[in-house]
Structure 1
């Protein structure tokens, strides 16, 4: 019986807003999930706190299947949450990159343009940074600005008071680069947050309005937003490292770095849109712009790109105080996995979300191999 325990626990059931403990011989059993997939999910989530939810979308053979689980009373139950909304953290950077690509394709700016030419105030020392460098993390900017002092902010919502004046003060008075722009890729929330701010300034609108008009409307993303007031009725509460509810994060002027909320229903639409070869904007975000020598991967605009002889994966993860997320898409085989959770990014097992996404992709690869034999 032990061998079949994970699939017994993780059977996918139908019905809206229902949760049930899956038991052997369950009346509502629907064999939508393979045994190896259920084993992977069980193995990676069994140590999560009670009330942790995972919403999962698996894209394979032209279809998308949704799976939802929740830990309740130390038991994993199935849960219909494909349309529930979570903070997606740094997956927001892919959306900001898509906004950048939209403006490039529509000739509003060039990838290699100096951002100083679009700012109302110059960078200290007349530093030359391009839009591409902001998006692929080669700007030389640090991960966070030095005037966002973690010892003096509310760690449950650390960005909420970091506004336009704070950003201007840092860039015009306190700016320090870790290396010369273009030399090295070093992850920077500041860089992509700054990118989102500049793009909204160019269009004389808010980041939220850019997101809605240029992406959400185009791809029919009905629950994707940087304004949580729009989706409060669908929002899953984030959990801290102890499994207790924690406040949502407000990214303020740095929203482009991690301020978006979404559902796996929406993100799977956005993922499938990547397979449309005629979409010039999305194609530009996937074009390699910098090679990462350490792990032989590449950076696109937002996306990390991993290639081997059989497939090309694009991927991004995200995390905030109450959430952890992961998206991976195999462009060669047109498969993908999206996972959203309310597991804290500070939880010691937070990387299990990324690991699960990779393991589920492995099950799709095996399925493709069998189909080709």
Structure 2
């Protein structure tokens, strides 16, 4: 599982050393309420949370048969405590890509564009070597674009490493350095650049900032009142992001690549988005979950969403995300109307962040 669900957003992974003595002395002070959480679920949460530094928070949502329960924990003084944090805000990293693709689907349903249309005509310059990219290939990672553009350098000493990658640099890359690597049938190659370029292009088409389009076409529609882009726009308590060592870090600003990972949200807001996935008459969301590319017998992709065949035989729709101070994971099953959301201020730049993905999937199996 570890290799199959590593978070996609970070461009580097760093290892954090956690001594066994530190982990073993962590105390489980969770409050168990069978109406909200079972003993088995609490044990899973404890086992995956005890490795994190103090001041770590996890906000969780359990959606079972269309009904939602919220739960939260915080590690303080080497103890895991139950907390109320359903309306606390976290960066959700690459889960943003699902919303960028939802915006694309919204434009498609409104006949503003077609998935197979190239994005090239929306730019007033030619792409390098006249290469062409379609909306669909940006949304399902088959465009041939690399994970990050060649004129972007990740500086680990910069706590907000994407903030300087502005429109000028993105346009320069497209015009002068873009080099697509794909076969005739298309090949899956996960690309933060591709999702960022998709959001940038949709913003040009909508003639509005991406955050405004999200609010008007998605957040307001699904009553996600505490979701936004930009820490300065958050109206609820924003949980402090942490480094792998547990030190405070800056919030990220992805600038021209905002569509790849800039949204800040809460488990309550995201649970509403998950519940909307269970509505068969929502043409926009149905389109995002429709398979567009097959990777292997167990994995495929729609628009933004990844589709996974679980060993149980169920089809799970999912995405995860990570930034310098946060890690997230969201998985759902439209047939059973089950889902799990985990948001955290666990840095995606440290090895223990894999526990967030593992916890999310194990809790899903436990429902």
Shared fold, TM over 0.5: yes
Q: Deviation of residue 240 (structure 1)?
A: 0.3
Matched, 1:110 2:130: no
**Cα distance between partner residues in 2 of 1:31 and 1:285:** 33
Alignment root-mean-square deviation, CA: 1.8
Matched, 1:127 2:143: no
Q: Deviation of residue 155 (structure 1)?
A: 3.1
**Cα distance between partner residues in 2 of 1:245 and 1:337:** 27
Determine if contact 1:135/1:195 at 8 Å carries over to the other structure.
yes
Q: Secondary structure at the match of 1:350?
A: helix
Q: Secondary structure at the match of 1:329?
A: strand
Q: Which has the higher helix share?
A: 1
Q: Deviation of residue 182 (structure 1)?
A: 5.1
Matched, 1:93 2:97: yes
- Aligned match of 1:235 in 238, 258, 272? 238
> How has the CA–CA distance of structure 1 residues 155 and 178 changed in structure 2, closer, same or farther, with 3 Å as cutoff?
farther
**Cα distance between partner residues in 2 of 1:200 and 1:307:** 34
> How has the CA–CA distance of structure 1 residues 147 and 182 changed in structure 2, closer, same or farther, with 3 Å as cutoff?
farther
What are the residue-to-residue correspondences of 1:157-236 with 2, within 5 Å? 157-180=160-183, 183-231=186-234, 233-236=236-239
Match of 1:156 in 2: 159
Determine if contact 1:311/1:331 at 8 Å carries over to the other structure.
no
Match of 2:273 in 1: 270
Determine if contact 1:11/1:30 at 8 Å carries over to the other structure.
no
Match of 1:9 in 2: 29
> More relative contact order in 1 or in 2 (CA 8 Å, sep 6+)?
2
- Write out per-residue CA displacement over residues 235-261 of structure 1, whole angstroms, 9 at most, x where no aligned residue: 111000100000000011110000000
> Which runs of at least 4 in structure 1 moved beyond 3 Å after TM superposition?
307-310
Q: Deviation of residue 347 (structure 1)?
A: 1.7
Q: TM-score, normalised by structure 1?
A: 0.88
Q: Secondary structure at the match of 1:326?
A: strand
**Cα distance between partner residues in 2 of 1:174 and 1:103:** 29
Q: Deviation of residue 343 (structure 1)?
A: 0.2
Determine if contact 1:140/1:181 at 8 Å carries over to the other structure.
no
Q: Which runs of 5+ in 1 are unaligned?
A: 1-5, 13-28, 365-373
Determine if contact 2:139/2:195 at 8 Å carries over to the other structure.
yes
Match of 2:301 in 1: 299
- Aligned match of 1:347 in 330, 350, 357? 350
Q: Which has the larger radius of gyration?
A: 1
Q: Deviation of residue 171 (structure 1)?
A: 0.5
> How has the CA–CA distance of structure 1 residues 166 and 89 changed in structure 2, closer, same or farther, with 3 Å as cutoff?
same
Q: Identify which range, 119-128 or 259-268, moves more after superposition.
A: 119-128
Q: Identify which range, 109-118 or 98-107, moves more after superposition.
A: 109-118
**Cα distance between partner residues in 2 of 1:181 and 1:269:** 39
Match of 2:18 in 1: none
Q: Secondary structure at the match of 1:219?
A: coil
- Write out per-residue CA displacement over residues 238-297 of structure 1, whole angstroms, 9 at most, x where no aligned residue: 00010000000001111000000000000000001000000000000000000002x631
**Cα distance between partner residues in 1 of 2:260 and 2:183:** 21
